[in-house]
Amino acid sequence: MSTDIRLRNYELDFDGKHSPQTQAAIARCDANADPQWKHFWDGCVLAAARKQSEITSDDVLAEFETLPRPPGTHNLAAIGPAMKRAARMGVLRATDRTVRSRRPEKQGNLHVVWESRVYA
């Protein structure tokens, strides 16, 4: 098994919120996500952020589920990197708050509350 991992858009977390191993795992999830899924997800982030002043990934997932034939990706762990990508693009800003997921299948996972920078 090769240990050579080529990660695009790899960011170092100098705030110490994530260990180097966690950062590498996040980057892998993003790098391995289906490109079409990423494109559609980014659009749904923008749509949700235009409708509400604050959102979580639950809101984006609800928007995504309204699509007639949404593309899939092999691992929804790519949602976190996608939300960070939206922040880098100026759509969102992370707050210091978290809330429990409203979706039963998420079993109360904590989600970051994101402030919309495009709320209309």
Write the DSSP assignment of 70-120 as a string of letters: ----S-GGGHHHHHHHHHHTTSEEEEEEEEE-S-GGGTT-EEEEEEESS--
Which candidate, 72, 75, 106, 112, places its Cα nearest to that of 94?
112
- pTM for this entry: 0.80
Distances (CA, A) of 109 to 25, 78, 106: 18, 15, 6
Q: So what's the pLDDT on residue 27?
A: 83
Is 117's pLDDT higher than 90? yes
Summarize the confidence of residues 60-83 as an average pLDDT. Answer: 91
Is 25's pLDDT higher than 90? no
Q: So what's the pLDDT on residue 22?
A: 79
**Average pLDDT of the residues of the chain:** 86
Helix (H) / strand (E) element for 54: namely: strand 54-55
What are the φ and ψ backbone dihedral angles of 99, each rounded to 5 degrees?
-135, 160
Q: For residues 17, 74, 109 and 48, what is the CA-based torsion angle, rounded to 10 degrees?
A: 90
Break the chain into its structural domains and give their ranges: 20-67+77-116
47 and 63 Cβ atoms separated by less than 8 Å:
yes
The pLDDT-based confidence of 9 (bands split at 50, 70, 90) is very low
Q: So what's the pLDDT on residue 16?
A: 58
Is 63's pLDDT higher than 60? yes
Q: What is the DSSP letter of 63?
A: H
Is 98's pLDDT higher than 70? yes
Rounded Cα distance between 99 and 85, Å, is 20
